[in-house]
A = this chain, B = another copy of it.
Amino acid sequence: MYKAIITVRLKPSVLDPQGSAVKGSLHSLGYSAVQDVRVGKTMEVWLEATDSQEAEAQVDAMCRKLLANPVIEDYEFHLEKGA
């Protein structure tokens, strides 16, 4: 069993209205030191695979096909064994 920890973020050039809203809320709460906020997703995927190469290939394909939108998002992941 492998556990993949995947992070999906908007590309730096893409506007992030959710991040802007969070930044506005933090300012309203008095955290005026906050300069910028960007919001993304993290996913933990547990999967069976015979070895880490197979697990990595599967997770990369899942990211490209479903978990991230490659037009506007970047993704990265790392694997943990036996988690």
Which residues from chain A sit less than 8 Å from chain B, CB to CB?
A: 1, 7, 9, 19, 22, 25-26, 29, 31, 33-49, 58, 61-62, 65-67
Contacts and interface: CB of A to CB of B under 8 A. Distances in A.
Nearest to A16: B44
A35 B48 contact: yes
Contact of A46 (B7, B25, B36, B65): B36
A67 B34 CA distance: 13
A39 B38 contact: no
8 contacts: A7-B42, A22-B66, A31-B61, A31-B62, A33-B49, A36-B45, A39-B41, A42-B42
A15 to B, nearest CB: 15
